[in-house]
Amino acid sequence: MNSWANVGMDLHLELPRGIGVKAALLQGLRDAIDSGGLKPGTRLPPSRSLAVDLGVSRNTVADCYTELAHAGWLITRQGSGTVVASRADAKAGDARGITQSPSKPPEQEPPRSALSFIPGSPDVSSFPRAQWISSARRSLTSAPNDAFSATDPRGRIELRTALSSYLGRTRGVRTDPEHIVVCASSGHGLTLIARVLQETVAVDAYGLHLHRDLLAAEGIRTVPILVDESGTCTEQLASTQAKVALLTPTHQFPLGGPLIPSRRRTALDWASNSGGIVIEDDYDGEFRYDRKPVGALQAIAPQHVAYMGTVSKTLSPAIRIGWMVLPDRLIEPVLALKGPYERWVSATDQLTLADFIDSGRFDAHIRKMRTTYRRRRNQLVDTLEHRLPDVRITGISAGLHAVIQVPRGTEGAILSAADGLGLDLVGISTFRHPDAPPAGIDGIVVGYSTPTPSRYSDALERLCTAMESVL
């Protein structure tokens, strides 16, 4: 039996014709490197493997590798194979007539990591890699064969079962696996629900602009309703033409307050009386510090609330897993939109997350990060109280961001000063609905979960310096 197909790795080369085999191979390799087809650091196949693929002798390939290494095009290391050198070194090698290969690749200056307080991301350096790998190994080892074929558009039953238990225990959600539909993100879930309903959506006058953009892209009109420190002014819902309301009742984004009980009841009464739907975006409900837990709105009226959550704040936005807990009337239409099988979320990631939840690792990670983020929040508050005692900080009892209220007319100047210091910031005006009146405040929305631990103090220093230069 021929075994050539199992030797080494593939390499596509265009060899010029009309010249000898060795000359053609030398020219083909140089052209591939010079054009960028073979990038610096790319490992080349062993000489035996490439010789079999090209139908030439192994010595021919080995001689070409050696000659190109002497000229600086390639780098050879004992026991590590042959890799492509940088183009600069290759050209310099040709010019200088280098006769020996460099002992190691040229050092490249690592890109400077930006400092950012943009909200929306956890501390990605704290991702629980070892625990996630353990859950992946265990879940894939025990997975049934059908886990590796087309998956139910609802999502893997293992994950939906784990989520049903977890959401009921931690968020008070009333559900079962049949009412849960897995999606790729809250934005994905929102798009699916909006496509089904095709109704005007009431949104917070200050809210996540990315969600408004997604709705606009679907041709969905949004109408703003006021928000304050008690959350969304849900009494305004009845005066709108909306049949859908998008709310963040646990922790209003970006102002940060929870929706008070009377306004929660008003929202549910509106949905019940009008036949409307409340879309509840529970984006960071796990993180609370100085207040009692606020349960999900869905728990009070499951048939009038579509509940959404993801792991983008608790674990990482790189894990594209979210979920919807849907009223009966939305399940089949949403599944029809998703199609006959799951096309969005990896089944193996779903199995891993199911094990991560069932094993208790998810709870342990959240408790750990809750402590970490509380410490960061306290450091932010203490630093600002010491350096800028006249500014007011709000929305800090929960979540992963805070709002620093600043004097009117200073928001833009602070953002410009921060940019000059290499710090990414966002102002509260970014989140205002274009049809909403200004709230009468200027502010900076600080995502204190975003920087890595080693850069957090530096980011705080730059924030204070930028603000002190303006205030």
107 falls within a domain = no
Query: Reduced to 3 states, what is the DSSP secondary structure of residue 84?
Result: strand
**Secondary structure (DSSP) of 234-303:** GGGGGGSS-SEEEE--SS-TTT-PPPPHHHHHHHHHHHHHHT-EEEEE-SSTT-BSSS-----GGGT-TT
**Per-residue confidence in pLDDT tens, the chain, 471 aa:** 344 344 457 888 888 888 888 888 888 888 888 888 888 888 888 888 888 888 889 888 888 888 888 888 888 877 678 889 875 444 444 444 433 333 434 444 444 446 999 999 999 999 999 999 999 999 999 999 999 998 899 999 999 999 999 999 999 999 999 999 999 999 999 999 999 999 999 999 999 999 999 999 999 999 999 998 899 999 999 999 899 999 999 999 999 889 999 999 999 999 999 999 999 999 988 898 887 778 899 999 999 999 999 999 999 999 999 999 999 999 999 999 999 988 899 999 999 999 999 999 999 999 999 999 999 999 999 999 999 999 999 989 989 999 999 999 999 999 999 999 999 999 999 999 999 987 778 999 999 999 999 999 999 999 999 999 999
Same domain, 86 and 176: no
Domain holding 417, by residue range, is 115-121+365-468
The rounded distance, in Å, linking the Cα atoms of 341 and 152 is 5
Same domain, 157 and 140: yes
206 falls within a domain = yes
Query: Reduced to 3 states, what is the DSSP secondary structure of residue 222?
Result: strand
Considering 332, 363, 394, which residue would you say is the last residue of a domain? 363
Same domain, 214 and 262: yes
Same domain, 356 and 371: no
CATH number at residue 83: 1.10.10.10
101 falls within a domain = no
Same domain, 83 and 176: no
Same domain, 381 and 324: no
The rounded distance, in Å, linking the Cα atoms of 180 and 161 is 9
DSSP annotation of 446 reads E
Same domain, 169 and 269: yes
309 falls within a domain = yes
CATH number at residue 372: 3.90.1150.10
Same domain, 240 and 377: no
Same domain, 259 and 330: yes
Residue 403: strand pairing partners? 394, 445
Considering 363, 379, 396, which residue would you say is the last residue of a domain? 363
The rounded distance, in Å, linking the Cα atoms of 115 and 112 is 9
- The domain total for the chain is 3
251 falls within a domain = yes
Same domain, 261 and 155: yes
Cβ atoms within 10 Å of 434's Cβ, excluding its own: 8
